[in-house]
Amino acid sequence: MTAAPFSWIQPHPWGVHIAPADCWIDPTREVDKALVTHGHADHARGGHGETVATPETLAIMELRYNTREGATPVQYGETIRLPGGVDATYIPAGHVLGSAQILLEHAGERVVITGDYKRRADPTCAPFEVTPCDIFITEATFGLPVFVHPPIADEMAKLLKALTDNPDQCVLVGAYALGKAQRVIAELRTAGHAQPIYLHGAMEKMCRLYQEHGVDLGELRLVADHAKDDMRGSIIIAPPSAMNTTWSRRLPNPITAMASGWMRVRGRARQRGVELPLIISDHADWNELTQTIDDVNPHETWITHGREEALLRWCELSQRRARALALIGREDEDD
């Protein structure tokens, strides 16, 4: 007797379970064996018996969650054999340094779990690769047609204009400490901004890790090491949580900017007191999400987290089979 199709892969609120191998993808609780797509806290955590991830993701996890035990590195394109006859292949997802989609193959059935991903070029990580499969498990963080991220060059131009227009001030950019911050810095370098960029202390180690992995971020300085006047006319990068705290009082009259896909909606930007919204996201926008489903052309699409209702509706309108998974703890307001 054969098992029902795809019964070996089971979504639960705290992660996706691969039954024959008894291991989990991006579990939000401690498990014996975890396959982790990337280093963000809603996908990666410490305390697992064994963690399988790309070397970059493992390095990030060691830095953030102090995980050293049971780390099993997998290179992009490498396939590992899990117990129960399941093969897992790590494929670039284009989200942040080390981020991967995981292709699972078992009994002739192919399932791809994207983790988080985007299709735009990003100088800090390997680009997303389209991988044909039967079941495509996709995120939907920006799964509403109002979310269309503009070209990043436009947003950089906005940021640099604010800087030159206000030489006596500084621009404080709120950016998620893993991925967004480094991408903004790298894109600023691409746009020709060669001046030193100042960092909040919480950003330092992650930026160094990126540099050690060969990402060119130019000259970085710590806000704590410099006087207020040194930072006039400069860009400061800080985690969003630090933006309206007493820490920001040491900055010279900052213009508050925020790099996030949510900045597309005025109300969201105003809610956070943002004066200069920069629509920059490491997630796929609506067009990328729908284009990717078309490109992958799976038999069925499962939607993990975000605005799954709208993406489900799109699948229905496009006559594609789809279902929503109720995964918990997967919403990153800072992205």
Q: Which residues in this chain contact another protein in the complex, by CB under 8 A? A: 144-146, 148, 264-267, 269-271, 273-277, 307, 309-310, 313-314, 317
183 and 124 Cβ atoms separated by less than 8 Å: yes
Q: Which is nearer to another protein, 199 or 310 (CB)?
A: 310
What is the secondary structure of 26-63 as a DSSP string? Answer: S-SS--SEEE-S-SSTTT--S--SEEEE-HHHHHHHHH
36 and 78 Cβ atoms separated by less than 8 Å: no
Least distance CB 313 / another protein (angstroms): 5
Least distance CB 266 / another protein (angstroms): 5
Q: Which is nearer to another protein, 103 or 274 (CB)?
A: 274
Least distance CB 257 / another protein (angstroms): 10
What is the secondary structure of 115-157 as a DSSP string? Answer: -S---S--TTSPPP-----SEEEEEETT-STT--PPPHHHHHH
Q: Which is nearer to another protein, 156 or 185 (CB)?
A: 156
Q: In what order do the strands lie in the sheet with 15-18?
A: 9-12, 15-18, 23-25, 33-35, 50-53, 71-73
Least distance CB 11 / another protein (angstroms): 23
Least distance CB 204 / another protein (angstroms): 29
Query: For residue 133, what are the CA distances in angstroms to 83, 103, 159, 179, 296?
Result: 21, 8, 40, 27, 7
Residue 247 phi, psi (nearest 5): -55, -40
How far apart CA 328 and CA 324 sit, in angstroms, is 12
How far apart CA 324 and CA 311 sit, in angstroms, is 9
Least distance CB 319 / another protein (angstroms): 14
Q: Which is nearer to another protein, 216 or 309 (CB)?
A: 309
Least distance CB 115 / another protein (angstroms): 23
Q: Which is nearer to another protein, 266 or 323 (CB)?
A: 266
Residue 206 phi, psi (nearest 5): -65, -40
Q: Which is nearer to another protein, 39 or 174 (CB)?
A: 174
Q: Which is nearer to another protein, 125 or 258 (CB)?
A: 258
